[in-house]
Structure 1
Amino acid sequence: MGRIADLPPEEAAAYRSSEQPPSDFAERWAATLAEARAVPMVPQVVRVATGLSLVASYDVTFPGFGGESVRAWLNVPVGLAGRLPVVVTYNGYGGGRGLPIEHLVWPSAGYAQLFMDTRGQGSNWGSGGDTPDPHGGGPSGGGFLTRGIESFETSYYRRLVTDAVRAVDAARALPGIDPDRVVVTGISQGGGLTLAVAGLVDGLAAAMPDVPFLCDFRRAVDVADTDPYLEVSRFLAVQRGAVERAFGTLAYVDGVHHAARATAPALFSVALADRTCPPSTVYAAFNAYGGPASIAAYPFNDHEGGQAHQLARQLAWLRDVAGIRPEPA
């Protein structure tokens, strides 16, 4: 695999972003989440038949941004007593929640898992999504990065990050779940959402952002040579006067700024041949992270990262480092 147009590995590992959060970053997110949380969190939970004997599956609907319904799968190991820790999982770009039988590793290890559907996505790969995004917006460049990019208020990712925060609220409200042992994780876009939630939600037990997307946008757009970051380049090639406005909106989503506000123990991963999420942008978030954090690097991998090898690391790290075990507390 050829070199990517990023820093050499040792320089990438030390890289820190020079970007600063907007002056009203904390206030605007606080207002957004307060508005969303004005809607009572009463998840609807319906048992679904899957043919599985050792994992019970539930179709969960909870209020997200604007009180709008967001779907999720809850998978719970059968036969464990007491309140369980829960792994709230966010999906990659373009994918939906799929089928409950696709999410079996964490319940097989004794954890509950809440896998959030991604509003408006779910038709690019995988087994589909079930949550619409009932919002229009101004001109965008295809995909989701530039959808509503004219302002923080209209930004697609303002809605999606709010959904992700409310997924934690929903998990804490579910019967049989220990609200003090909530872990957040996800790959790529899911990793970026993990960082946002880690910075916006208090009392998380752990965060595991895997090859995270949505980090250090100006550098990512300069360096990445594939979608989704190229969506921003194509948009700005047409909307020539929108550069500062676009990056100003994206700054509210930037995983670097959210990471700096996070305190939960974290396990990152980075792929050093990653053309989709350049390694320096992942290290920018890692080096800004406000809590104790470690990172697993995969020197020869593109955006697939560590795959099952990283999942094995997560299973061991969650038990042995973060101390989050499936046995009832």
Structure 2
Amino acid sequence: MPLTFDMPFDDLLTYQGSTPRPDDFDEYWTRALADLANQPAEVEIVPAEFQTPFARCSHLWFTGTGGARVHAKLLQPVTPVGPAVLEFHGYRGFSGDWVSKLPYAALGHTVASLDMRGQGGLSIDEIPVAGWAMASYLLRGIDDVPDNLLYRHLYLDAARLAQIVMGLDGVDPDRVGATGYSQGGGLTLACAALVPGVKIAAPVYPFLSDYRRAWHLNLEKGPYDEISEYFRRRDPLHRREQEVFTRLGYVDVQNFAPRVRARTVLTVSLNDRTCPPSTQFAAYNKLTCEKSYRVYPDFGHDRLPGTDDEIYSLLSTL
């Protein structure tokens, strides 16, 4: 395997991350899941304009933490066979076109594709926060109480979507998989950690892992450059550096990794300067579940030839 810009490949396979894990990480997420359970879901399923003969296409709405109304595209096969696929999109993106989900629906799989609140889709973010929120999702809430970190709510939205889908007619709750690229890869791991019933996780170059390592590499490339921008504007002498990274540790997916029970297949590209490979292996190396990785030595944060086919084949086995 060739050397990466990041660290030698053999070192990637043992790297354990550098972002602190808060001492009360498990208590924080136990409380977060309790907050979610105490928020009525208020599920609404509305037929979409787009339809296909073999699946009902609908807009799925639910209420997440803080009272936000969260949206997902939902495809329910006319003849379901039990499995379901959860999809999570990339940073600032949206749930995508209906047609991109039809291959799974044609198999008889239910498909649900989440719109992250406050980003490019239909979900509504209604939670005010104090302090830093300038053109940034990654650090939104960092100057407020830890419970107001935006990604706490996004991870809980992913968990709620999984719970809702597992309860739908035609879905076998023991045959649910999750996948996504970049931010969607991070959400895939967080969802699998918070909902242990997820059977297969297929993250592709996941974002949201090992924030301090990404910052140390100083690649000046978004979205991790939002961390440097925060320090330049809010803490130029870095007096709060340890506090900031410890707080980000609550929403760092490497800290979720030991909780994942799903069979996990990680796809990594070694020239990825958006989500450096070391940040991805920081999470992978902490997984204790059945796991494997696929490596693209010559690619960056790109479309990776064959990856969608591999994930389709993997999730077809649900």
CA shift digits 1:272-292 (9 cap, x unpaired): 110100011111111111211
1:302 aligns with 2:300: yes
- Equivalent residue, structure 1, for 2:50: 50
1:142 aligns with 2:139: no
Q: Among 170, 194, 206, which residue is 1:176 paired with? A: 170
Unaligned runs of 5+ in 2: none
Is the 2:85–2:111 contact (alpha carbons within 8 Å) kept by the matching residues of 1?
yes
Moved more, 214-223 or 40-49: 40-49
Cα distance between partner residues in 1 of 2:259 and 2:170: 29
CA shift digits 1:254-274 (9 cap, x unpaired): 111101211111111101110
Is the 1:86–1:112 contact (alpha carbons within 8 Å) kept by the matching residues of 2?
yes
Shift of residue 51, structure 1, vs aligned partner: 4.6
Is the 2:186–2:206 contact (alpha carbons within 8 Å) kept by the matching residues of 1?
yes
1:213 aligns with 2:207: yes
Shift of residue 193, structure 1, vs aligned partner: 1.0
Moved more, 132-141 or 248-257: 132-141
Is the 1:165–1:197 contact (alpha carbons within 8 Å) kept by the matching residues of 2?
yes
- Equivalent residue, structure 2, for 1:327: none
CA shift digits 1:15-47 (9 cap, x unpaired): 222444211111111111111111344521122
Cα distance between partner residues in 2 of 1:247 and 1:18: 9
1:292 corresponds to which letter in structure 2?
E
- Equivalent residue, structure 1, for 2:308: 311
Is the 1:149–1:250 contact (alpha carbons within 8 Å) kept by the matching residues of 2?
yes
In 2 relative to 1, CA 164–142 (structure 1 residues): closer, same or farther, beyond 3 Å?
Answer: same
- In structure 2, the residue corresponding to 1:27 is in which secondary structure? helix
- In structure 2, the residue corresponding to 1:288 is in which secondary structure? coil
- Equivalent residue, structure 1, for 2:151: 157
Shift of residue 141, structure 1, vs aligned partner: 4.4
Misfit runs of 4+, over 3 Å: none
In 2 relative to 1, CA 19–81 (structure 1 residues): closer, same or farther, beyond 3 Å?
Answer: closer
2:69 corresponds to which letter in structure 1?
S
Cα distance between partner residues in 2 of 1:61 and 1:18: 37
Unaligned runs of 5+ in 1: 123-128, 325-329
Cα distance between partner residues in 2 of 1:135 and 1:42: 18
Cα distance between partner residues in 2 of 1:42 and 1:237: 42
Q: Among 127, 132, 150, which residue is 2:124 paired with? A: 132
- How many residues matched? 311
- Equivalent residue, structure 2, for 1:237: 232
In 2 relative to 1, CA 303–31 (structure 1 residues): closer, same or farther, beyond 3 Å?
Answer: same
Moved more, 109-118 or 139-148: 139-148
Q: Among 76, 92, 97, which residue is 1:94 paired with? A: 92
- Equivalent residue, structure 1, for 2:284: 286
- Equivalent residue, structure 2, for 1:107: 105
Shift of residue 116, structure 1, vs aligned partner: 0.6
RMSD (Å) for aligned C-alpha atoms: 2.0
What TM-score, normalized by structure 1, do the two folds share?
0.88
Shift of residue 225, structure 1, vs aligned partner: 3.3
- In structure 2, the residue corresponding to 1:105 is in which secondary structure? helix
- In structure 2, the residue corresponding to 1:114 is in which secondary structure? strand
What TM-score, normalized by structure 2, do the two folds share?
0.91
Cα distance between partner residues in 1 of 2:77 and 2:158: 23
In 2 relative to 1, CA 314–236 (structure 1 residues): closer, same or farther, beyond 3 Å?
Answer: same
- Equivalent residue, structure 2, for 1:192: 186
Is the 1:208–1:267 contact (alpha carbons within 8 Å) kept by the matching residues of 2?
yes
* Paired-residue identity, %: 35
